[in-house]
Chains A and B, each alone.
Chain A
Amino acid sequence: MINIVASPVTDGILAVLQPDTLIYIVLGICIGMLVGAFPGVTATMAIALASGFTLTLEPTQGLAVLLTIYVAAQFGDRVPAILLNTPGTPSSISTTFDGYPLALQGKAGLALTTSAFGSAVGMIFGIAILAIAAVPLSAFAMQFGPPEMFALVVFGLTMMVGVSSGRIIKGLAAGAFGLVLSAAGRDPITGDPRFTFGILELNGGIPFIAVIIGFFGVAEVLNQIITRHKQHHAKPVTQMGQWMPDARLLRRLAKPMGIGAVTGSVVGLVPAVGGDIAGIIAWDNAKRASKRKDEFGKGSFEGLTAGDTASTATLGGSVATTMALGVPGDSVMAVMIGSMMIWGIQPGPALFSTHPDLISSLVTIMLIATVLTLVLSLLRMRGMVKLLELPSRYLWVIILIFCMVGTYSVSNSIFDVFTMMIASLVGLFMLRFGFPAGPAVLGLILGPLAESNLRRALIIDGWASIFTSPIAVVLLLIALGALILPPLRGLVQRRKNASKGSDLPSMVP
């Protein structure tokens, strides 16, 4: 329970209510809405890009920009999903199921506003989870010693590999590659140089912000450049119809919103499971609970709001696990951890004891961002539809140049810019050959933590120190389950389908 009279809470809130921080929140909302609205520009890419110029800001201001981009992108990405049938970011995949059919029925306006209400409800639910769960979670994690911390890093890495990518071996290889990159520089225990090849700049390790910008920003644009055959644009739906929902419709949506909020909040607490998965699960749950099942997938407001509420409700849980455990809830959070480490804030169990005001700052930033973004989403903006018609070539130019200058601005180093360029080529290779970039970035960021804790644990009592710790064993077993269960489930499903197929009468005479 947070004591709201305690000074850290009010300090955290007051830090956010400073005029300059509020300006940065508004800036973040504008960027986030635009990012969400452009298909192909993900929130991860935008935050990687923004991290280049937020590192010179105060931590609260920088966090305000990055978090509000994240929040606002969750609202903006519904616009192309509803009007173009193209998710702005992966989180709005479930929005397309019912959003676009509704738009085709002339109910685009209602779809946009009910989606915004659902997203706001989900976000507030998620923020409540953050406020309630983050501090107890970090207090629990304070008991962790080297074996548990190592197991926690392995858990985070494997969850990201097993749950989100669907390419387990390549995900593990990408994670190992990230860990190798993190080994460059000084040994975390003895301080001996490793893999520096006589390059002075590598003594401090590979600049991870440069690598993140290369992997998530430039590599994606380069992939679009080499594969896009011609500029073709689907025409967005422009007939908005009725805009604001009436009280009757809102009452009807209370149940699917509740289902979405609960589903998203639970899913969000599992590291590495993003809003896309939560949205799909909630859509399915809402369909099961609905009296109008037949409308789902053909233009159901219930389906639309359930998915959108769930996908945004994951944010609070994702921020909570990232801050309290130091294990990113998703790839956006992995990028944010990188920025926080530059500001001298190390997410993890000790975070809330070293920065007791941070939790209230995070909650306040996200609440303000949610309310302002909801207001912005409810304005009837014709400009947003026009933006959907903007050719990607302008975005490519903006992203490429911003990535170059943003990387330089982190530490005014040309070396960082060339590192970013090399990382973007590596990222392009990974994209083309199916290696997910998320585990690589996570490995790069969490590598020193994993290595130092493993070596300390092994020095204390060998492998027994890990396998005799109940917490470490549970975490490792869950990690193992995340790796083994999806392929096993796939195998069982394939066999089931095959046996069903053999029972069916053949159409061939």
Chain B
Amino acid sequence: MEREIVTEHPLVDNQTAVFPAAPDALVTDRSYRIRELVPVATCIGLGIGVLVFAQDINSQVGVELGPAFWPSMLGYSLIVFGALLVFVNVLRGVRPADIPDRLNGWGVSRFCATAVLLVGYVLLWNVLQFWLITLVVSLALTALYGARGWKALLAFPALVSVILHVLFVLVLRVPL
């Protein structure tokens, strides 16, 4: 089933594309296939972890098919799925749609700074006034993501903190 459509989607560089495309040709580059070992290791590692911890489950009630039955079954399943991933993704290749956008250094720095700010935000909820800490954190995040000017750095964080304060503290009476 092939049909021609006109599109200007960013991923389609010409005006006429074939839709839906024939099944994507797999990307067989070594680097992408080696990268697929991470999901394999995760599945197998998680499966083994589940099996190990399932051994420690002690049942007070002697019943057939006790509490460890279901987690053990899932642990074995994860190991099987990990092994299948080796055949499907590592040996054969990866679908182009499964290759994520490339990371960039500035993005990773922004991610780390975001994590620090958000952890600090949660820890300070019960120390400072909620609206104040929300104002400071939203200002810091907005600046971190590249906004400049008084509207972006003052009006926007102020609006966010007012809305959150009214919604959660005054209307929903959440103890923040």
Contacts and interface: CB of A to CB of B under 8 A. Distances in A.
A401 interface: yes
Given A226-B104, A298-B6, A393-B145, 5 more contacts: A96-B9, A169-B88, A225-B111, A394-B156, A455-B65
Nearest to A435: B39
Nearest to B130: A405
9 contacts: A176-B81, A180-B74, A195-B71, A225-B110, A226-B111, A229-B107, A393-B147, A401-B160, A433-B38
A3 interface: no
Contacts of A179: 70, 74
Nearest to B57: A194
Nearest to A181: B74
Interface residues of B, number: 82
B127 interface: no
Interface stretch (A63-71, A134-142, A412-420): A412-420
B66 A190 contact: yes
Interface stretch (A238-246, A372-380, A490-498): A490-498
A72 interface: no
Contacts of B111: 222, 225-226
B78 A176 contact: yes
Nearest to A459: B64
B91 interface: no
Contacts of B5: 97, 296-298
Given A297-B3, A397-B145, A173 B85 contact: yes
Interface of A: 53, 56, 85-86, 96-97, 100-101, 166-167, 169-170, 172-173, 176-177, 179-180, 183, 187, 189-192, 194-195, 222-223, 225-229, 231, 234, 280, 284, 287, 296-299, 391, 393-394, 396-398, 400-402, 404-405, 408-409, 412, 414, 417-418, 421, 429, 431-435, 451, 454-455, 458-459, 490, 493-494, 497
Given A100-B8, A393-B142, A397-B145, A166 B97 contact: yes
Contacts of B108: 226
A401 B110 contact: no
B74 A280 contact: no
B105 to A, nearest CB: 10
Contacts of A194: 54, 57, 67-68, 71
Nearest to B5: A297
Q: Which of A173, A287, A454, A497 has the most CB of B within 10 A?
A: A173
B16 to A, nearest CB: 9
Given A297-B3, A391-B147, A227 B101 contact: yes
Contacts of B38: 433
Contact of A284 (B1, B9, B67): B1
Given A172-B81, A177-B46, A433-B39, A101 B6 contact: yes
Contact of A404 (B1, B20, B118): B118
B118 A400 contact: yes
B104 A490 contact: no
Interface string B32-47: 0000001100110010
Nearest to A396: B145
A430 B54 CA distance: 24
Contacts of A400: 114, 118, 141
B14 interface: no
B154 interface: no
Nearest to A418: B122
Contacts of A429: 42
Interface in B59-115: 59-61, 63-71, 74-75, 77-78, 81-82, 84-85, 88-89, 95, 97-98, 100-104, 107-108, 110-111, 114
A429 B100 CA distance: 11
Given A180-B50, A297-B4, A280 B20 contact: yes
A497 B49 CA distance: 43
B170 interface: no
B103 A226 contact: yes
Contacts of A431: 100
B4 to A, nearest CB: 6
Contacts of A421: 118-119
